[in-house]
Amino acid sequence: MQVLAPVTGTSLDVADVPDPVFASGMVGPGLAIEPRPGPQSAVAPIAGRLAKLHPHAFLVVSDTGPGVLVHLGIDTVQMHGDGFTLLADELDVVRAGQEIVTWDPGYVTGTGRSAVCAVVVLDCPAPSEPLQRPGSTVTAADPIFDIRC
């Protein structure tokens, strides 16, 4: 299954996420994106159901397998939704590339937090196959890796 970039920016190895839980791979395999500054929309990385939706993070679970978690920035839960606007509702069925949240990574960094986005596959013991090398420029909805579960 192909996973799309939820945001526009520069791809990073998941080990480069400035959070030890994501960086260690404990949450799951995937990658990270350093988002470009300025307002943008975060899109669904796969088609499926929005199993969880918070302003700073969302989980899309496919009908055929794993879920993909998108976490917009690090420690952004502490922002209590400030700077994020939801464009969908929890439990909605979404298509890959559909806009889910608008946000401004520059606003996040202005609060002293990292805007790096983790994109990880849950309940998938096998590693993912990257389609983008670290340092690549990606646009929201570009394919970034394939899930091999």
**54, 56, 71, 80: the active-site residue:** 71
Tokens of 93: 């069925």
Return the percent helix, strand and coil in the chain, to nearest 5: 10, 40, 50
- Strand 9-13 with 30-35, pairing: antiparallel
What whole-number distance in Å separates Cα of residue 94 and Cα of residue 88? Answer: 9
Q: Is 80 a catalytic residue?
A: no
Q: How many whole angstroms separate alpha carbon 59 and alpha carbon 48? A: 9
Q: Which residues are catalytic?
A: 71
